[in-house]
Structure 1
Amino acid sequence: MVVGANFKEIRTKKTLIGLGLGQLLSLLSTSNGFTSSELARKGINVPTSQTFLNYVLLAIIYGGIMLYRRPEIKVKWYYYFLLAIVDVEANFLVVKAYQYTSLTSVMLLDCWAIPCVLVLTWVFLKTKYRLMKISGVVICIVGVVMVVFSDVHAGDRAGGRNPIKGDFLVIAGATLYAVSNASEEFVVKKNGGDTIELMTFLGFFGAIISAIQISIFERSELTAIHWSTGAVFPFLRFSLTAFLFYSLVPVLLKTNGSTMFNLSLLTADMWSVLIRIFAYHEKVDWLYFLAFATTAIGLIIYSIKDKDLEEHKSGEAVDEEAERKKLIDEDGDPGS
């Protein structure tokens, strides 16, 4: 049927766009991870200041668009305020973790957000996860576990000056990220998919909360930093990359959901490996490539829509019924 074919084509395009957008976000996350690690190696320890400019950019750019459009605000302001608190503190904890543990540890432990998102979306958004989607999640996590083994096998995992503290910070930050992502998915779907309002208020309240936190906790550290180009450029790079990351996240949340978003970020560790190979000409263990392939397969399995499978089966049943009736019409009534 033409209608069924067109529908399947649309769903396939949506799935491919979701996979591609997820990997772009994963690359942006990898870039921010390298930048945070670079700043940590230089002794720059101002995690809230590092994310402040991103919130300012979101407030100015999306706020300008919102003022021009003058739409009716669809979600109560205090929801955005609470969301901004969670998001700011999640960024603070994860960026802070780079001071104590390795880049690989941060990226691996970030996967803790996935089971948190699954529970949150199941409880609050009533999202149903069937066996195929759960299988995709499990396969993705298996890919990450393979990265852990490849790190141990290759012996290239830097421990950091206090790995246990850093790991706890990442786990706490990942939990808050899960709350933030599930909340953003709820807000995007509640206001009809309009991301302008979400980005405006997240940037506005995020900038205010960050400014207060900076003035209390990081003012002395900021004044002690020698602001050469080696310090300024990483800050600007992080802010611009984070702005692009935040701008694209609601699009993926709207089309594919927060679980797909967090699963896509699992490949960030693999992208970091490719950067190390081609940019720094480092040798990596062969298990990395197998882990990347495993995670990719898990993402594809998770992306397959259950509705597509049901409609495919129902379509086959309809075709079989039509063929049976055709044979009866041609051969005559079996009972005559």
Structure 2
Amino acid sequence: MAPPPEGERGGGGCRARWLRREVLLALALGQLVSLLITSTGFSSSELARRGINAPTSQSLLNYILLALVYGGILLYRRQPLTTKWYYYLILGIIDVEANYIVVKSYQYTSLTSVMLLDCWSIPCVIVLTWIFLKTKYGFRKFFGVGVCVAGLILVVFSDVHASDRAKGPKPLKGDLLVIVGSMLYACSNVTEEYLVKKNNRIELMAMLGIFGAVISGIQISILEREELHSIKWNAGAVFPFIGFALAMFLFYSTVPTVLKICGATMLNLSLLTSDMWAVLIRIFAYHEKVDWMYFVAFACTAGGLLVYSYRSRELATSRVG
């Protein structure tokens, strides 16, 4: 949706209303992608509970769906690519490996460490968007980021995670994997923001799906072939695989819209609430009792998102090129 022209009658108020609608839409979509990430976490947990350890295979079906759906639209339109294919190849490699590395880190370190270190993607995104996309950040935005991160820290150090504080078998290796994965996620998000603002969402999703599927297929044949052969493909294994793929497909389909409206930083801040949505699902679906600090943390993170996005000019000041 394009902003109204400045010269229109009442253009100032009209533009302000347009910005408010865009910000509210970005906040809503940010929480949608956060819920989708939460659902992928539950699917992965179910697969892990059944002893299935195939992180690249889980993502393959998502990339295939992206290639089929958006690739089909791209072929129907018969439009030439607006970006060289090798840029999408690089993005595909970064995206596939980021997913693989972070999932792999759970084998070596604790969930608490992963949650804390995964925040490293936020300063990485801020630096990358400031350097390459010329995004302007003021004190209020940095304050909003700080409030969001403080909310996550409250979650991590609440009594709910007390049992998870034990170190993993190789905590240093796991922590390093999380840091590397977070940096790759930051690179992937910023690259997607650049491409979706410069070109279009359909081309981005189609090419990411094609190259992601090819790279995943090669990696599966090298690292996970034996694991796939050992899996007993019953309903208990198939449904989580399909659920994960569908949630990831919807996540990837929604992310470019969030990136186009308000950028990679807002996206990464929104994803901080995914663990809190998981808690609400546990409360209402499984009737579990959780620590009261979770609700304080959720309010804190939500407040940080509002502070970051309030009267946002990032919609207008983020430039590409």
**TM-score scaled to structure 1, two decimals?**
0.86
Q: Matches of residues 107-256 of structure 1 in structure 2 within 5 Å?
A: 107-151=115-159, 155-157=162-164, 159=166, 161-162=168-169, 164=171, 165-191=173-199, 194-256=200-262
Change (3 A) 1:88 1:28: same
> Which residue in the other structure is 1:300 paired with?
306
1:42 and 2:53 equivalent?
A: no
| Cα deviations by residue, 1:257-290 (Å, 9 ceiling, x for unpaired) | 0000000000011111111111111111111111
1:261 and 2:267 equivalent?
A: yes
**For structure 1, which segment, 181-190 or 163-172, has the greater mean C-alpha deviation from structure 2 after superposition?**
163-172
Q: Deviation at 1:189?
A: 1.3
Partner Cα distance (2:110, 2:286) in 1: 17
> Which residue in the other structure is 1:318 paired with?
none
Aligned length: 306
What residue identity is the alignment partner of 1:235? F
Paired residues of 1:62 and 1:196 also in contact (CA < 8 A): yes
Paired residues of 2:71 and 2:206 also in contact (CA < 8 A): yes
Partner Cα distance (2:227, 2:282) in 1: 31
Change (3 A) 1:240 1:203: same
Paired residues of 1:36 and 1:98 also in contact (CA < 8 A): no
| Cα deviations by residue, 1:181-237 (Å, 9 ceiling, x for unpaired) | 00000111121xx10000010000010011111111111111011111111111000
**For structure 1, which segment, 96-105 or 240-249, has the greater mean C-alpha deviation from structure 2 after superposition?**
96-105
5+ residue gaps, structure 1: 309-336
Paired residues of 2:20 and 2:311 also in contact (CA < 8 A): no
Partner Cα distance (1:162, 1:232) in 2: 30
1:17 and 2:18 equivalent?
A: no
What residue identity is the alignment partner of 1:41? R
Partner Cα distance (2:91, 2:10) in 1: 44
Paired residues of 1:33 and 1:103 also in contact (CA < 8 A): no
| Cα deviations by residue, 1:18-45 (Å, 9 ceiling, x for unpaired) | 0000000000011111211221222111
Change (3 A) 1:261 1:154: closer
User: Which structure has the larger Rg?
Assistant: 1
Q: Deviation at 1:48?
A: 0.7
1:29 and 2:37 equivalent?
A: yes
Change (3 A) 1:229 1:100: farther
| Cα deviations by residue, 1:104-148 (Å, 9 ceiling, x for unpaired) | 554443222111101111111111111111111011011111112
SS at the partner of 1:278? helix
| Cα deviations by residue, 1:55-93 (Å, 9 ceiling, x for unpaired) | 001001100000001112111111000000000000111
> Which residue in the other structure is 1:72 paired with?
80
5+ residue gaps, structure 2: 1-8, 315-321
Change (3 A) 1:106 1:231: farther
Paired residues of 1:99 and 1:160 also in contact (CA < 8 A): no
**TM-score scaled to structure 2, two decimals?**
0.90
Q: In percent, how many aligned pairs have the same letter?
A: 62
Q: Deviation at 1:100?
A: 4.0
Partner Cα distance (1:181, 1:268) in 2: 17
What residue identity is the alignment partner of 1:252? V
> Which residue in the other structure is 2:11 paired with?
3
Change (3 A) 1:222 1:154: closer
1:94 and 2:102 equivalent?
A: yes
Change (3 A) 1:104 1:234: farther
RMSD, matched Cα: 2.0
Partner Cα distance (1:162, 1:38) in 2: 22
